Amino acid sequence: MSYEKVSQAENLIIGTKQTLKALDNGEVAELIVAKDAEYRIIHKVEALAITKRVPIHYVDSMKKLGKACRIEVGAATVALRK
């Protein structure tokens, strides 16, 4: 999963809380997680994605992931909506 794919996607769900809600509602096609995010922030999202059988892709940097999402801060998780 590249940052370019995220930057080109139109229907993103940015942030852990929003991603958890979308996963719970079955709205997520793919999950992107930053490797440098804190475990305590991302572990619930990863666990729910595994339970819901949503593919998880990893990127190296929260800062770069946030930039790809066109936001000024880093992003720990981003989901692509179905």
Q: What is the mean pLDDT of the chain?
A: 93
Q: Give me the mean pLDDT over the 54-67 stretch.
A: 95
- Is the pLDDT at 1 greater than 70? The verdict is no
pTM here is 0.90
Domain boundaries in the chain? Answer: 3-81
Q: Give me the mean pLDDT over the 33-56 stretch.
A: 96
Please write the tens of the pLDDT for every residue from 4-35.
888 888 899 998 999 999 999 999 999 999 99
Q: Give me the mean pLDDT over the 54-63 stretch.
A: 95
Long-range contacts of 64-73 (CB under 8 A, 24+ apart): 64/3, 65/3, 65/6, 65/32, 65/34, 67/3, 68/3, 68/4, 68/6, 68/7, 69/6, 69/7, 69/12, 69/14, 70/7, 71/14
CATH 3.30.1330.30 fits 3-81, yes or no: yes
